[in-house]
Structure 1
Amino acid sequence: MDAAARQAFNANFTDAKYQQLLTDMNTGLRAPIPFRLAETPIFISDDFYAKLLQAGEDIIATIKQPDFKELTERAIPDKWWVANENDHAHIIALDFGVCRDEHGELTPKLIELQGFPSLFGFQAYADEHYHKAFDIPEEWTGYLSGLNKESYIELLRKTIVGEHQPDEVVLMDVNAPEQKTSVDFYITQNYLGIPVVSLHDLVQQGDQLYYKDNDGELKRIRRIYNRLIFDEIDGDPHIFDKVVDFRQPLDVEWIPHPNWFYRISKFTMPFLEGDFVPKTQFLNQIEEMPADLENYVLKPLFSFAGQGVIIDVQAEDISAIKNPENWILQEKVNYEPAIQAPDGGVKAEIRLLYLWPDGDEDPTLAITLGRLSRGKMIGVRYNKDFDWVGGTVAFIKK
């Protein structure tokens, strides 16, 4: 991480500035931001960013392999397979932990990846407010690939709205206003002009979908910006007796198509190699179990947000698993507390967010998301009662 920028930030930090950040970011929103914002951004050094870029390029190359769909066909549960899949993921998110390599240098290590939206609207909003609250020099930016706020939002529009009218594209989640990420939904709505709807708002006529606009009139849906994770409806076996069964062939485009949520996921990890990827194997394909299980984590393929992960692996944990084909054994990633807070080091995770609109040959690395942690794992439930933790932005030098 950039030592000079860190020193300058910490020297000028005050809690009053942080409180002003929270006040300013919550002003004008439908509801207060429901997750913790960190007291500081992450300042990425040039050499660390070069490693992030290389790591991302290596992973994207695997995703672009001609046989990638064949490799990941088993990733999609039969009950959640959705018709009319397109040829590429419109959105890719790569999560890297900040670690230290065998030479003592800071290096990124892949934690997780997903072909699913993240806080694309919120991060642009946060970038602006962190700059303002802490008077951060303009040479630092969360926008990547030479983008600025205007060109970034245009790329976001090109990816999500495409050639359609904004009112023909809906941002959809199971119960959108009640989601913890709804703050991002409505910021995205402000940027792009697209309506936010819930799953139960969808109306089907033949193979077409509609929603009711502000005047109560049915409006045709041409595209769905999908924010729905199937885990959220998996517990209701009768869900599609109450709402539209969107798995069927429908005359609608998906951004991204739901199948990519599974294809680009933990399932992809065993197919990746390189210095920035922890060794990962499908549990049922391991011929000889490692003797040093304490250096591995056990992850269920079809569980999300850290649920079901076994950190301190014992031999009996493995023998107790009845469906080893649905688990991976992954080399443990040891986060380095590389972000210097006033009272010690803090662990960090950096998410690279890619946008891949129709017609583009490659995805564009667009913006960052950062998370800081003092707990055993990254995430809200592991960081209660700590400060200098939570969501943030990760800046690079222009």
Structure 2
Amino acid sequence: MINSYRVSFNEQFSKEQYNLFLKELEKGFVEIPFRIAETPVFIPTMLKDQLIAAGAEIIAIIKDPNFKSLTEKSIPMEWKVPNESAHPHFLTFDFGICKDQSGKLSPKLIELQGFPSLYGFQSHLAKTIQQSFKLSSELTPYFEGLNEQSYLDLLKEVIIGKHKPHEVALMDINAPQQKTAIDFLLTAKYLGLKILSLSDLKKEGNHLYYLEDGKKVVLKRIYNRLIFDEIGDNTEVFRDNFDPREALDIEWITHPNWFYRISKYTMPFLKGDFVPTTHFLNDLKEIPEDLENYVLKPLFSFAGLGVIIDVEKKDIEHISDPENWILQKKVDYEPAVQAPDGGIKVEIRLMYLWPEEKEPVLCISLVRLSRGKMIGVRYNNDFDWVGGTVGLMEK
């Protein structure tokens, strides 16, 4: 990464300073249940340009008029929601940082989602890390010439739209108990919307409302953080509140169908220098001999659950629903960030906002550092200099 910033950061780093940074990050909000890394990642201009180019290639496919028909089978019939929007409002693309044949750093796509990520928290994290470690004012976490204020203005445009903040709710199955609760609280601080659990919403006709001081407040829009996979077969939770699969007078930001359309399901349709070879398991004509070079992933899971890193032939043969799995060429992560005791692997999530009747805007990044086989923060709790962080670039 940018060596001058890395050397300077490592020389002045202390555990005490890191602990003060964590306290500042949580102050006034809630204890963060996932690990925050000791360092940001200083993204060099050449790698930034490659990430931007890789994201643009993927977006071109998503914007293709045939994309919806191509991904129609991705949506389980039992979870299909009516009144789908023309496009998603959020796009996130995860890239592992590798070395290309010439020895230069290069991104490789790992996964993608048409679902929100930590859009509130990443801005707060970037500001806090820059202030706590007294980093150069020439560094920014934002793409496209954005700054903190213009980014939050865009976030408000996408999530609140033309409505009043109290008519919009961030909704999850049990919002205060989610690991991402700090992101919810920050989003509410920035935008003024309500944070509601599924049980807080009631239905009257085809309208949704919540109670505020004993009075009904009709909702116009839901900033949806509910993942149907978390519900599973427990659809009884809808009985006393509302069923998201019904035709309702509500705007979804973003519509739940996009969680499936833009997902691991999309990977086999993508080609290019930044995309590893990926096959639907049921489309395989034969099992590759070099399975050690592949990873096996279930289509409908999140946070790395169910992924098989060390694939054996029997793993494939024992799968009863091959149409719901992909076999993807392994990505060889480069230990590109230098910690005091060695190199750390890096994954960079590009985070886009897509306003109505406009183009997608690349806004900010979410970076994860890892020493283990799996990148997610849940797999790195026993190490230091790993976990979630943010990318910083020269302006």
Q: Deviations over 1:349-398 (max 9, x none)?
A: 111000001121x1000111111111110123321220001111111111
- Per-residue deviation, 1:315: 1.1
In 1, distance between residues paired with 2:178 and 2:286? 43
Equivalent residues in 2 for 1:18-97, closer than 5 Å: 18-29=18-29, 31-97=30-96
- Per-residue deviation, 1:319: 1.1
Structure 2 portions without partners, runs of 5+: none
In 2, distance between residues paired with 1:151 and 1:325? 43
Matched residue SS, 2:273: coil
- Per-residue deviation, 1:307: 1.1
Matched residue SS, 1:84: coil
Residue 218 (structure 1) aligns with? 216
Residue 100 (structure 1) aligns with? 99
In 2, distance between residues paired with 1:46 and 1:380? 26
In 2, distance between residues paired with 1:216 and 1:151? 36
In 1, distance between residues paired with 2:301 and 2:192? 33
Asked if 1:291 is matched to 2:328, the reply is no
- Per-residue deviation, 1:234: 1.0
In 2, distance between residues paired with 1:381 and 1:22? 18
In 2, distance between residues paired with 1:51 and 1:381? 28
Task: Return the letter of the residue paired with 1:85.
Answer: E
Residue 360 (structure 2) aligns with? 363
In 2, distance between residues paired with 1:324 and 1:43? 40
Structure 1 portions without partners, runs of 5+: none
Task: Return the letter of the residue paired with 1:15.
Answer: K
In 2, distance between residues paired with 1:366 and 1:267? 24
Residue 187 (structure 2) aligns with? 188
Matched residue SS, 2:239: helix
In 2, distance between residues paired with 1:97 and 1:218? 47
In 1, distance between residues paired with 2:39 and 2:308? 30
In 1, distance between residues paired with 2:232 and 2:241? 13
- Per-residue deviation, 1:179: 0.2
Asked if 1:334 is matched to 2:335, the reply is no
Residue 246 (structure 2) aligns with? 248
- Identity among equivalent positions (%) equals 58
Q: Deviations over 1:189-227 (max 9, x none)?
A: 0000000000011110101110112x2211010000000
Matched residue SS, 1:238: helix
Residue 305 (structure 2) aligns with? 307
Q: Deviations over 1:94-128 (max 9, x none)?
A: 11111112221111111110000100000110111
- Per-residue deviation, 1:27: 1.1
Judge conservation of contact 2:276–2:329 (CA < 8 Å) in 1: yes
- Per-residue deviation, 1:139: 1.1
In 1, distance between residues paired with 2:250 and 2:239? 21
Aligned residue pairs total: 395
Judge conservation of contact 2:203–2:241 (CA < 8 Å) in 1: no
- Per-residue deviation, 1:235: 3.8
Residue 322 (structure 2) aligns with? 324
Q: Deviations over 1:130-181 (max 9, x none)?
A: 0111111011111111000000000000000000111111000000000000
